[in-house]
Amino acid sequence: MNEPLHPLTLSEILDRTAQLYRSRFLVFLGIGTIPAGTMFVFAAGAFAFITWMGLNARSGTNIADSFVWVFLVLLMLIAIPVSLGVGALGEAAMSDAAARLFLGDKITIRSAYKASWKRGWRYVGLFLLQGLVIVGVPAVVFSLGVFGMIFGKVSGLAANDNSPLFGGLVFLLILVLGVFAVWMLLRLCLAFPTCVVEQAPAWNSLKRGVMLSKGTRARIFVLYVMGVFLSQILAWCVMFPILIAIALIPGLQGQAHAQAVGMFTILVTYGSYFLVKALVKPIFGIALTVFYFDQRIRKEGFDIEWMMQKAGMLAPPPASELKPEIAPLAPAQDSPVVSEPFAVATVMPENPEIISTPQSALEPKTEEGHA
């Protein structure tokens, strides 16, 4: 974008996100389709296998149980690492493309994934750390809490026990852990743009993302709420016409086709979910990148630094120096004090004797030896 950098309000961030997405719609859609399509392929494979198993079981075909479990285990062993890797690369590619386009550079699907592939393990590590903090910790705490209530024989576990204690405690635990997960999501949501733009390690990106998210988490929460509502609306818009069309086809009516219609409906539901995910994912990726730059503008004066770089007054620092821990060097006594994030280097003359030479010694002398 050629617009000058300046602090943005929430409406301006949403408008800038829509402009960026619309200007390179196919590129961002392609970047978001690869992770969503990978998950859809594995989900469709598992669904087809389960359907095939059900049909063979009803027709009386004997299939070894060991084969079923071996297939499911192999599918999980392949699907989990591949999905994690593709998801991490997709997040990094989305942040890279959004950042380049925000700063006025050209983007392609290939260049975005090529840039993320070079530091793939770093992004996978960051993706795993985010997942462990946001999802893993609440899941472990929930499992421990439920098992503790089961072993403690809390009232309401038995079928003939009408006490609401167990159900109430489970609901309260889900509510508390859900709030914790959302809170951690808002704290860590700027870690990927930080890692991609500043090329920082995964752990440092998490810490810096927490720092940059201060003061804007409420606005990011509004973004997530709007995104969830948009996802649901798009999912229903995609799924409803297909379901209505299925219900109006005369050849699919009756009990003979009830099973086929049910399986097709489930497949359409999953397909619409992944299609909507591919459409909505760029919105979150672009908006979070814009939030990242907006926070750097507000906290660190990135807009001034960027204008100086474009004017040739400040050389862009190498990737090894793009760390938040770097402090500015101390300026010389006669040099003006420059605030962060710019560093001031004091250049000393090659001949230090010039400084210590008195002014009278530098005055010209006559033949008599006197000035």
Any idea of the CA torsion for 286, 288, 289, 291, to the nearest 10 degrees? 120
234, 236, 237, 226: which is closest to 279 by C-alpha? 234
**Separation in Å, CA 84 to CA 126, 218, 238, 276, 304:** 11, 28, 27, 19, 38
What is the rounded distance in angstroms from the CA atom of residue 108 to the CA atom of residue 187?
A: 30
**pTM value surpassing 0.85:** no
Question: What percent of the chain has pLDDT above 90?
Answer: 45
Predicted local confidence at residue 258, as pLDDT = 63
User: Encoding tokens for residue 123?
Assistant: 């992004």
Mean pLDDT of 166-185: 93
Neighbour count for residue 290 (Cβ, 10 Å): 24
* Structural domain spans, the chain: 10-321
Q: How confident is the model at residue 363 (pLDDT cuts 50, 70, 90)?
A: very low
Give the tens place of pLDDT for each residue, 106-122: 999 999 999 999 999 99
Neighbour count for residue 325 (Cβ, 10 Å): 8
**Comparing 354 with 286, which gets the higher pLDDT?**
286
Give the tens place of pLDDT for each residue, 15-29: 999 999 999 999 999
Answer whether residue 132 shows pLDDT above 50. Answer: yes
Answer whether residue 359 shows pLDDT above 70. Answer: no
Predicted local confidence at residue 80, as pLDDT = 87
268, 219, 253, 281: which is closest to 25 by C-alpha? 281
Predicted local confidence at residue 324, as pLDDT = 39
Report whether 208 contacts 194 (CB < 8 A): yes
